[in-house]
Amino acid sequence: MDVLGVILWTVAGTLCASIVSLMPALHIYNVSGILIILTMGAGTSTLIPMPYVPVFMMAMVVGWAILNTVPALFLGAPDESAIFVVLPGQKYMMQGRGYEAAALTGIGALAGILAMLAASPVFFRALPKLRHITRPHLFWIMGLIITYMLMSEWPKGSGRQKTGWGRFIDGWKNLGAGLLTFLLSGILGFIILNKPIIPIQYSFQNIMPVFVGLFAIPWVLGNIFCKTEIPPQYICRTADLDVRFWSRGGFGGFLGGMIAAFLPVVTGGIGGFIAGHATAQRDDRLFIISQGASKSVYYIGSFLLAFVPGLELTRGGMAWMLRPFTSAHSYEDYWRIMGVIMLSGGISFFLLLLYSRLVIRLINRINYRSLSVAVLFILLAVVWGVSGIMGLALMFVGTGIGLLPVYYHSRRMNCMGVLLLPITLNMGGVGQHVARFMGLV
């Protein structure tokens, strides 16, 4: 494998991801999955020379992890890992500081990449042991994460009701909505994982319509019906940030991203949330940097773990898709892929600033509601095109569940119950009993 080839395929992967990233609802795993199946279905690549496939795919993941901030922030179409960036990011947008929020996210992503580089020797030594220790305990570790996620939302309620019962109901209204969101999304997850709701010709995308419904559509509907008007955006030349903030936010995000990358099903949003609590982050800037780092470390790190010699850990969609075509990796492979991450990360950061400027120019000229309506139609078209009418039905139900936390003021993260609940129960060996209880057998 020559250096020039690595550089060329890194740039190609990053540019490819930069196009995919701008399309709301298109996830890099969906696109690369289709690409892998169409070009590598026979076991060898017909498009990219086989040795460069991991290089190209890693560049795609890096590009996506950094650049999907643009549609998440400016078009209000976040995926499950970007949802946390959007909340303070929208606040910045409303203050005309959307560009700064995008830049902070990118700066966080670069911090995450540097942290992964610095932690590489630890990966080699500690992760294989950590995996060996945690492997038999994943069921209850996942259970703890779910419990923490649900319980850390307490206490709630304004406390302004006149009677004790009034305050009780006021407090429980939001918590109940959170629990209901988790439960309903979990039931939906059980159904789609146990029954062929989506016609088998679209089965490769069986989870995508639900994710679009849970995370992207509610946000777009909010933009349309809350009559959000974006104020003129200021293109800043400096970020309100110092090294202490950058390293603190980057470390918190790295921690969260690695938790998410190491544990199955846990996404960057959940990992970042746990790490945010663990490192007591309160400042908006810290939060945005940390979520930028967490999101990128989650996406990149989960794929990077597949390259750690002696670890043989498959986490994240890309690692699973490429697993049939790759073998055990050497230290040389690891450092090469780390170089790919750094090169692609650098290019993606500059593309992030460029795309943010372009999109700001676009939303300053076009009515934001009209743009949101256009995004909604793109989402509908993509879901219909990829998964048919049943996909639209699942997306519709997912939207109903995804709107619960928005309009009953609980955490959107509870929607991750769609994967957390069925997979955790399956890990505990009780999934099939639940499926029987639900009459799905």
Partner 1 sequence: MSEPPSQSPGLQGLPEETLCPSCGNFVGAYVRCPYCGAEHRRRMSIRFFRIFSMVVSLGGVFLIWLAARGIESPLIKVRDIQPLNAFAYVRVEGEVTRSSSYADGGVSFTVDDGTGTIQVRAYGETGKEMAAAGRVPSAGDRVTAEGTLNFRGGHFTMIVNLPEKVHVRRVDAPTLAIASLGQEHIERKVKVQGTVTGALEFGKGTTYTLSDGVGTIDVVLWHTRRDIFGDRLRLLEPGRQVSVQGRLGEYRGKLQITLDFPGDLREAGPPAAPAAAPASAMAKIGDISRETLKREVVIAGTVVGLRSFSRGTALELADPTGKVEVVVWDSLRRDLPRADDLLKEGAILRVRGIVGEYRDRLQVVPKSAAGIEETTIAE
Residue numbers of the site for partner 1 (CB under 8 A)? 34, 37-38, 40-44, 94-96, 158, 160, 180-181, 184, 187-188, 191, 194-197, 200-204, 206, 221-222, 225-229, 231, 323-325, 393-394, 396-397, 399-401, 403-404, 406-409, 426, 429, 431-432, 435-436, 438-441
> Please, what is the minimum distance in Å from the beta carbon of residue 403 to partner 1?
3
| 3-class secondary structure, 374 | helix
What letter represents residue 296's amino acid?
A: S
Give dist(CA 53, CA 90) in Å, integer: 37
> Please, what is the minimum distance in Å from the beta carbon of residue 177 to partner 1?
9
Return the DSSP state at 230.
Answer: P
CB closer to partner 1, 152 vs 203: 203
Sign of the alpha-carbon dihedral angle for 154, 157, 161, 166: negative
CB closer to partner 1, 236 vs 440: 440
- Count of beta carbons in the 10 Å neighbourhood of residue 269: 27
CB closer to partner 1, 21 vs 399: 399
> Please, what is the minimum distance in Å from the beta carbon of residue 231 to partner 1?
6
| CB-based contact 354:152 (threshold 8 Å) | no
CB closer to partner 1, 271 vs 316: 316
> Please, what is the minimum distance in Å from the beta carbon of residue 195 to partner 1?
4
> Please, what is the minimum distance in Å from the beta carbon of residue 380 to partner 1?
16
Give dist(CA 306, CA 56) in Å, integer: 15
What letter represents residue 102's amino acid?
A: A
What letter represents residue 9's amino acid?
A: W
| CB-based contact 255:279 (threshold 8 Å) | yes
CA dihedral 179, 185, 188, 190 (to 10 degrees): -80
Give dist(CA 441, CA 434) in Å, integer: 10
CB closer to partner 1, 67 vs 224: 224
Give dist(CA 46, CA 41) in Å, integer: 9
> Please, what is the minimum distance in Å from the beta carbon of residue 95 to partner 1?
4
Give dist(CA 115, CA 297) in Å, integer: 9
> Please, what is the minimum distance in Å from the beta carbon of residue 183 to partner 1?
9
CB closer to partner 1, 43 vs 121: 43
> Please, what is the minimum distance in Å from the beta carbon of residue 112 to partner 1?
29
> Please, what is the minimum distance in Å from the beta carbon of residue 371 to partner 1?
16
CB closer to partner 1, 126 vs 226: 226
DSSP annotation string for 63-118: HHHHHTHHHHHHS----TTTHHHHHHHHHHHHTT-HHHHHHHHHHHHHHHHHHHHH
CB closer to partner 1, 276 vs 402: 402
> Please, what is the minimum distance in Å from the beta carbon of residue 354 to partner 1?
26
> Please, what is the minimum distance in Å from the beta carbon of residue 225 to partner 1?
4
What angle is formed at CA 275 by the lines to CA 405 and CA 302, rounded to 5 degrees? 95
Give dist(CA 330, CA 279) in Å, integer: 34
CB closer to partner 1, 124 vs 325: 325
| CB-based contact 214:401 (threshold 8 Å) | yes
Residues 6+ apart with CB under 8 A from 14: 59, 60, 62, 63, 344, 347, 348, 351
CB closer to partner 1, 121 vs 439: 439
Give dist(CA 127, CA 222) in Å, integer: 42
> Please, what is the minimum distance in Å from the beta carbon of residue 172 to partner 1?
15
Give dist(CA 257, CA 292) in Å, integer: 10
Sign of the alpha-carbon dihedral angle for 376, 381, 386, 391: positive
Output the six-digit token pair for 184.
Answer: 């309903």
CB closer to partner 1, 3 vs 200: 200
Return the DSSP state at 234.
Answer: P
CB closer to partner 1, 144 vs 438: 438
